[in-house]
Amino acid sequence: MSVPAVEVRNLTKVFPLSLRKEYLVAVEDLSLTVNAGEVYGLIGPNGSGKSTTMKVVLGLMAPTTGSTKVFGIESRDVRSRNQIGFLPENPYFYKHLTAWETLKFYGKLCGMRGKELKDRAGELLALVDLEGARDRRLSGYSKGMLQRIGLAQALIQRPKLVVLDEPTAGVDPIGSRQIRDLIFKLKDDGISVFLCSHLLEQVQEVCDQVGIIANGRMWREGSLHDLIAIEDQTELVLRDASPELLDKIKALIESEAGGCAELIRSGHPRTTLETLFLDIVRESREAQDLKDREKLAAKEAKKQKPSSK
């Protein structure tokens, strides 16, 4: 088996909140694997630790405990970044540079030069459909355009892994569609993609693997197919089925000996990722509430101790 593109092992990230001894656990004992050539989507509500996880993977932050590797190289090793293209959330680049200069700048940072760099920059501008705005400074770019130049920048050195933090935030439907198509194209080219989002429709369309994260913990992980499958139910999807055929099937089910199978519904298959997501968020909130209540109770207990003395 080939080396996984991203390997996160028991990652915990704790932020000190203030000079007093208060901490915020942003990510807790999180493990995930992005296999080479796969599109992995991390979904979770705001503040659940998606960006934090990505920053640790990119070496922008050090893990408190646990480890992250990119193609087998520890994230803190500069060489791991050779194979990564990163698009941060709400990216801004040097406003004083034009799109063309921006791409050349990042290309040079990756050690590209001359014709190779020029060709690649031109290619990418075409890919993200910004050829017309090539010589305009980024200070005059719209949100969607910035997102696209961000993508182009991430791809400049032909990385084998692309990390996208909410690639479609603030982008209109047409723009998100373009970005989605682009992700498909990357996948076709054998590039691994690690993205996070809270836009479920997008994730379910493009991702092979999905992880659902809430309160810094991984709640469910697996292929999209497995995640939304309900074990004791079977779905038949037919094309051009005549009413007669459907009646026959119904009759067949009813006539089944023992009669324990029943037809629950028939119709077009629908998403259940959203339901799953909402369930998990609710579940995690309840867990959090429980924790908070326990904490509060512990505090109360502490308070009462001295008075009882």
Partner 1 sequence: MKLNRIVKKALTALAILLLFGLAKSPFENGLSRKLQEAKLIAPIPAGGLGGLIGQSTFLAVLGGLRPLVGIYTTLHAFDAWSFKEWDTVERDYAIITTLLPDDIDSWKTGAWHMAYNAAASELYDESVPPTVRKRNGRAWIIKGVEYLKKGIEQNPRSAVLQHELGDIYRQQLEEPCLAAKHYKLSMEGDYPKSFAQRFYAYSLARCPGREREAYDLLMRIYHDPEEKRTPSVIKRILELEEKLNIPAANRIPDPDPDLEILRRYPNAKLD
Partner 2 sequence: MSDSVETLPRVPLFSPGRIWVLASSTFTQLVRMRTFYFLIVFAILVAAASNLDLLYTPAQKLRILKDASFGAMSIFSWLFAIAATAVLIPRDLEDRTLYTILSKPVPRLEYLLGKLGGVMLTIGVALVVMQVLFTGFLFFREVTVLASERQYLESQGEMSAADIQVQLDLIRAQGVQWQLLYALVAIFLKASVVAALTMLVSTFASSTLFTMIVSSIVFMVGHFHKLAAGYWLEEFGDSLFTKLIIKPIVMIIPDFRVFNVAENVVGGEPVSAAIMLSLTGLAALYVAVYSAVALYLFIDKEF
Ligand X SMILES: Nc1ncnc2c1ncn2[C@@H]1O[C@H](COP(=O)(O)OP(=O)(O)OP(=O)(O)O)[C@@H](O)[C@H]1O
- Kindly state the smallest distance separating residue 24's Cβ from partner 1, in Å: 11
| Closest residue to Mg ion, based on beta-carbon distance | 51
Q: Is 50 in the site for partner 2 (CB under 8 A)?
A: no
HSE at residue 224, side-chain half, CA atoms within 13 A, is: 20
b/e map 126-144, b = 16+ CB within 10 Å = ebbebeebbeeebeebeeb
60 versus 249: smaller Cβ distance to partner 2: 60
Tokens of 34: 């992005």
**Burial of 269 by CB count in 10 Å (0-12 exposed, 13-18 middle, 19+ buried)?**
exposed
Cβ-defined contacts of 234-243 (< 8 Å, 24+): 235/269, 237/269
Tokens of 183: 């992700």
Number of CB atoms found within 10 A of residue 199's CB: 15
Between the alpha carbon of residue 196 and those of residues 49, 53, 200, 202, the distances in Å are 10, 10, 10, 10
Q: Interior CA angle at 292 toward 286 and 296, to 5°?
A: 145
Q: Is 202 in the site for ligand X (CB under 6 A)?
A: no
The three-state (H, E, C) secondary structure of 3-24, written as one string: CCCEEEEEEEEEEECCCCCCEE
21 versus 239: smaller Cβ distance to partner 1: 21
Q: Which parts of 205-264 interact with partner 2 (CB under 8 A)?
A: none
- Kindly state the smallest distance separating residue 30's Cβ from partner 2, in Å: 17
1 binds, among partner 1, Mg ion, ligand X, none (CB under 5 to 8 A by kind): none
- Kindly state the smallest distance separating residue 16's Cβ from partner 1, in Å: 5
Taking CB under 8 A as the rule, which mask of x and - marks residues 97-136 in contact with partner 2? x---x---xx-xxxx-------------------------
User: What's the one-letter identity of residue 252?
Assistant: L
- Kindly state the smallest distance separating residue 18's Cβ from partner 1, in Å: 9
Taking CB under 8 A as the rule, which mask of x and - marks residues 33-72 in contact with partner 1? -------------------------------x--------
Q: Is 48 in the site for ligand X (CB under 6 A)?
A: yes
| Of 65, 92, 235, 303, the one binding partner 2 by CB under 8 A | 92
Q: Is 140 in the site for partner 1 (CB under 8 A)?
A: no
Taking CB under 8 A as the rule, which mask of x and - marks residues 159-188 in contact with partner 2? ----x-------------------------
Q: Is 46 in the site for ligand X (CB under 6 A)?
A: yes
Q: Which residues bind Mg ion (CB under 5 A)?
A: 51
